[in-house]
Amino acid sequence: MSLHKIFRVIIMGPPGSGKGTVSARIIKSFLLKHISSGDILRANINAKTELGLLMKSCIDQGQLVPDDVISRLILKDLRALENSSWLLDGFPRTVSQAEALEDAYSVDSVLNLNVPFQTIKERLTSRWTHLPSGRVYNIDFNPPKVPGLDDVTGEPLVQRDDDSPETVTRRLRSYETQTEPVLEFYRCKGVLQTFSGTETNKIWPHVEAFLHKKFPSIQQGVA
Ligand X SMILES: Nc1ncnc2c1ncn2[C@@H]1O[C@H](COP(=O)(O)OP(=O)(O)O)[C@@H](O)[C@H]1O
Ligand Y SMILES: Nc1nc2c(ncn2[C@@H]2O[C@H](COP(=O)(O)OP(=O)(O)O)[C@@H](O)[C@H]2O)c(=O)[nH]1
Tell me, yes or no, if 93 is annotated catalytic.
yes
42 is in an annotated binding site: yes
Task: Say whether 62 sits in a helix, a strand or coil.
Answer: coil
Integer Cα distance of 2 and 33 in angstroms: 16
Contact predicate 87/26, CB 8 Å: yes
Strand partners, 127: 138
Strand partners, 89: 11, 36
Non-local CB neighbours of 7 within 8 Å, separated by 6+ positions: 32, 85, 86, 108, 109, 215, 218
Tell me, yes or no, if 160 is annotated catalytic.
yes
User: Which residues, numbered 138-167, are part of the site for ligand X (CB under 6 A)?
Assistant: 162
Stretch that binds ligand Y, among 16-24, 50-58, 59-67, 170-178 (CB under 6 A): 16-24
Tell me, yes or no, if 79 is annotated catalytic.
no
Stretch that binds ligand Y, among 70-78, 135-143, 166-174, 212-220 (CB under 6 A): 135-143
* 123 contact, one of ligand X, ligand Y, none, CB 5-8 Å limit per kind: ligand Y
* 137 contact, one of ligand X, ligand Y, none, CB 5-8 Å limit per kind: ligand Y
123 binds ligand X (CB under 6 A): no
Sign of dihedral through CA atoms 106, 111, 117, 122? Answer: negative
Through-space distance between the first and last CA atoms of the chain, rounded to whole angstroms: 17
Stretch that binds ligand X, among 78-86, 92-100, 101-109, 181-189 (CB under 6 A): 92-100
CB of 138 to ligand Y, least distance (A): 3
Catalytic one of 8, 93, 123, 135: 93
Q: What is the contact mask toward ligand Y in residues 161 to 200, using x (rule: CB under 6 A)?
A: --------------------------------------xx
Number of residues that bind ligand X (CB under 6 A): 20
Integer Cα distance of 5 and 2 in angstroms: 7
What element of type H or E holds 196? strand 192-196
* 41 contact, one of ligand X, ligand Y, none, CB 5-8 Å limit per kind: ligand X
Q: Report CA Rg, the chain.
A: 17
Active site residues: 19, 93, 127, 160, 171
